[in-house]
Amino acid sequence: MGMLINTRYENSMTSKELKKERKFIFISIFSLTLFGILMVYEASGIYAFKETSDAAFFLKRQLSFLFVGLIFFYIFLFLDLNVLRRYNKSILVLTILSLIGLFIYGNKAGGARRWLSLFGVNIQPSELLKISFLLYTADYCNRKNKLIKNIRYGLLPLGLVLGLICILLVSQPDLGTSIFWVLWTILFVFIWGAKLKHLASVALLGSIGLFFLITLYPYRFRRITAYLNPFADSQGAGFQLVQSQIAYGVGGLLGVGFGESRQKLFFLPAAHTDFIYSIIAEEFGLLGALGILFIFIILFYKMIKISNDAKDNFKKGILSGITLIFGLEVILNIGVSCGLFPTKGLSLPFISYGGSNLVVHYILLGLFFNASKKEDKSFNNFR
């Protein structure tokens, strides 16, 4: 895997093959998005009616987010990647400033400041990291390709930037997102050829820091103990995970049927956001849940295939980085809903409810198609 970036294939994909793979990816993701919108409406209708007197409240908002996301998709599809490469540091600095701005202007909800209000629209700056930190890291590894194996001159400067981002995220507080970016960065630089022993040292230091961040804050410690044995505190810290597992158990092999979920009736918190996969498992059963997972696996296989075919290292970094973002999100979201990982607020890509999340993911999709275009037939390759 560490040889992925430097690999050159004698038989690269033809324009026809690339067009076919890209079309499959777009159709699949757009279909998942439409399915997600349907599930958002189905999982949130009663809750939305209680809170807003409009059962379609979240449905309407998700549709509007999709519309905005598609606009940005086409903008980033045809944007000059050299411009993004040239200004990637400035883009990251703006994102970091927006994270700092949360301490002054951030909207507080659930004990955390994670949203900025801009022209009446709530924006989550941590979502913007998926664009800015991706571009910065892709350019960094491209420029310092030969130094990635060196911990002092290759990994340390990138680690300092990552450390600053994690400090800002943890201060919100948002420990889960900082863990996500540490995992993503380790995997990303490993793909670029970083030494395993260096990454193991980083992982060890990170684990020590994580231990103190968990033990020093009681609510985080309760979340870990609830993960280990959710039924020991089924009405407290383990409530969400217990209700999620009930959804899986009730769904069985074939599910209770579309629209027949009982966990959405105020039993399972965040049913239309972080735990929407549990509602899918309840209504469509194990077969339906595995079907969604299978689609994601096929998507990632094709995205990896396209990433490996790229000849430009900066573009290869964008392609592999986006694939890693989507892949990690799916693994962590489904893992949390199954009880494999501690509870962490992370959406299921293209399916969960969320404006910033959906728009940013379509921006990433636009970047993916942009970076994977054949230089001589860029427009025709997407059609």
pLDDT higher than 80, residue 101: yes
CA dihedral 19, 65, 327, 100 (to 10 degrees): 130
Report domain extents, the chain. Answer: 15-382
Question: 202 vs 323, which has greater pLDDT?
Answer: 323
The distance from CA 106 to its chain's CA centroid, rounded to whole angstroms, is 22
Question: Which pLDDT band holds residue 375 (cuts at 50, 70, 90)?
Answer: low
Written as one string, the DSSP assignment of 309-362 is: H--SHHHHHHHHHHHHHHHHHHHHHHHHHHTSS-----PPTTTS--HHHHHHHH
Q: Give the pLDDT score at 325.
A: 96
pLDDT given at position 311: 86
Which tokens is 202 given? 């980083």
Task: Count other C-beta atoms under 10 Å from residue 219's C-beta.
Answer: 10
Q: Is the pLDDT of residue 119 over 70?
A: no
pLDDT of residue 345 exceeding 80, the answer is no
When pLDDT is cut at 50, 70 and 90, the band that residue 264 belongs to is confident
Query: Closest Cα partner for 71 from 358, 326, 319?
Result: 358
Cβ-contact 135, 88 below 8 angstroms: yes
What is the spatial distance between Cα 382 and Cα 35, in angstroms, rounded to a whole number? 23
Task: Give percent of the chain with pLDDT exceeding 90.
Answer: 44
Average pLDDT over residues 288-308: 94
Q: Does 343 have pLDDT greater than 60?
A: yes
CA distance 247 to 221: 25
SS3 state at 115: strand
User: Using CB atoms within 10 A of its CB, is residue 197 exposed (0-12), middle (13-18) or buried (19+)?
Assistant: exposed
Contact between residue 230 and residue 242 where contact means Cβ atoms under 8 Å apart: yes
354 versus 329: the higher-pLDDT residue is 329
pLDDT tens, position by position, 166-218: 999 988 878 888 889 999 999 999 988 888 887 888 788 777 777 777 777 66
In whole angstroms, give the CA distance from residue 125 to residue 56. 27
Confidence of residue 156 (pLDDT cuts 50, 70, 90): confident
pLDDT band at 117 (very low <50, low <70, confident <90, very high): confident
176-190, 217-231, 253-267: the lowest-pLDDT one: 217-231
pTM for this prediction: 0.89
Choose between 117 and 68: higher pLDDT.
Answer: 68
Q: Is the dihedral of CA 327, 328, 329, 333 positive or negative?
A: positive
Confidence of residue 111 (pLDDT cuts 50, 70, 90): low
Helices 175-191 and 196-215: crossing angle, nearest 10°?
180
pLDDT above 90 for 328: yes
Residue 310 token pair: 């790229």
Residue 282 buriedness (CB in 10 A; 0-12 / 13-18 / 19+)? buried
Q: How many CB atoms lie within 10 A of CB 300?
A: 17
CA-to-CA dists, residue 290 to 92, 252, 281, 326, angstroms: 37, 12, 9, 17
